[in-house]
Structures are given as structure tokens and as C-alpha cells.
Amino acid sequence: MTKFILPKDIGLEALPEQNYADVKFIFNTDWYDGPISGLCEVNGKEYWFELVTEDYKPKKDPEEMDRIRVFALIDLGKTRFEEEKLWHKLFELLVRDNKDLRPSAMHDRFYKPYAHRPETEISREQIIAQFVEKP
């Protein structure tokens, strides 16, 4: 559901690494076996996060793998943060909140307008750090 396009060459190796323990997830807008994108807070400041890479490394048992995900921390600016929070509130009202899935007849009231939102290209300058989710 993300409407953001990251630069092709983010330059992860040049970005400072934020400690994962300092990242407080507020909400996610995409999820697959864990958060992929959404709003988070680091040291009292809000950031958008986007999954950049996902890798798997073998554990001691060769049939088991550890997943390692690397995320970009993005400064969207106050106006865009407020817009994303509004869309999230609409999602909670019309699709689901943390507890309940809304009746499917209500879902189109969110998804149809959301589908018409333009994608936004994120500049390299907006990406302020990375964080790594490790097992």
C-alpha cells in the first residue's frame, strides 16, 4: 500500500545505523511477516520507515534460516506526516483497527480513494538513517 518510491541507489553503506531497540513502531501501512512500511518514532522524533532489503542467513541447523531486514528512516516533513496519519485513521475506521476487521462493504470507502493517491519519490536527502531488524 505504500505510495513512496525510494531512490534506486540509496547508499545504505553511507547511512548511519540507528539502534533497532530505539525504534518505536507507531503503525504500519504494509505488513508481510512483520512491518514493511509505516510510521515510527526514534528518540522522540517521527520518521517514516520503508523496507529496503531482506536477506536470509542459515542458522546452525541448515534447514533453518534467520531473516535480516534493513529499513530506511525517512523524514517526510510535517505536512506529509499529518497526511499519512489521516489516511491511517481512515483505514482504522473503514477497514480495521488493532482489534476488529470492519464489514467488507466499508472497505471500498477507503481503498478506492487511496488507489488514486499519487506516488511520491523520496529524495536521498530525506533518508536520514537505516536500522536493521535481526533475529
CA distances from 75 to 15, 91, 127 (A): 14, 22, 6
Give the per-residue pLDDT at 102.
92
Confirm if 129 and 16 have CB atoms less than 8 A apart: yes
The sheet carrying 17-18 orders its strands as 17-18, 127-133, 65-74, 45-58, 35-42, 23-31
Residue 61 phi, psi dihedral angles, 5° rounding: -80, 115
pLDDT classification of 86: cutoffs 50, 70, 90 = very high
Give the per-residue pLDDT at 129.
96
pLDDT classification of 2: cutoffs 50, 70, 90 = low
Helix or strand or coil: residue 107? helix
pLDDT tens column, 24-78? 999 999 999 899 999 999 999 999 999 999 998 888 887 788 889 999 999 999 9
Q: How many domains does the chain divide into?
A: 1
Say which DSSP state 111 is in.
H
pTM of the model: 0.88
CB atoms within 10 A of CB 47: 25
- Find the mean pLDDT for residues 106-111: 94
Q: What percent of the chain has pLDDT over 70?
A: 98
Confirm if 2 and 50 have CB atoms less than 8 A apart: yes
What is the residue range of 97's domain? 4-133
Give the per-residue pLDDT at 1.
58
- Look-up: residue for cell 534493513? 70
- Find the mean pLDDT for residues 112-124: 92
Give the per-residue pLDDT at 11.
85
